[in-house]
Amino acid sequence: MFQSLFGYRQSPIKTQQRVQTNVKQIRSPQLFAQLQNGNAPLLVDVRSPEEYQTDGHIEGSRLLPLPMLLQRMDELPKDKPIVCVCRSGNRSQVACEQLAAFGFTDLTNLAGGMIDWRRNGLPSK
């Protein structure tokens, strides 16, 4: 028992492995510059509706909560760059990985999420 508590034996329960993908990362100032130059990617905010409204969001972003993403991914274009956004960059990374598993190729995660966006003093609605 002591050995199994500390991982010396393999558990008979198989855990789901995350698919490793090469999702690009972008920081808030670089994303803001892209949005200003007229070549804006599609921004997909994967937070909850409450977070989106209460904590603010990037103008022009589309709310598509992570729990609904795979059910509604047919609403997203596969031929356009997509930047996923969340509070800290974790859920948006998961969103990018999920979309990549279904054939989306031009995916970028907003590293640091809305926390980094606000830290850099960038505008939100």
Q: What is the pLDDT of residues 19-43, one digit of tens each?
A: 455 799 999 999 999 999 887 899 9
pTM listed for this prediction = 0.82
Q: List residues with catalytic annotation.
A: 86
Tell me the domain boundaries of the chain: 22-119
Q: Which CATH architecture has domain 22-119?
A: 3-Layer(aba) Sandwich (3.40)
Q: What is the CA radius of gyration of the chain?
A: 17
Tell me the sheet residues that pair with 83: 43, 108
pLDDT tens profile 75-117? 999 999 999 999 999 999 999 999 999 999 999 999 999 999 9
- Give bridge partners of residue 25 from the DSSP assignment: 109
Distance of CA 19 to the CA centre of its chain: 15
Tell me 47's DSSP state: S
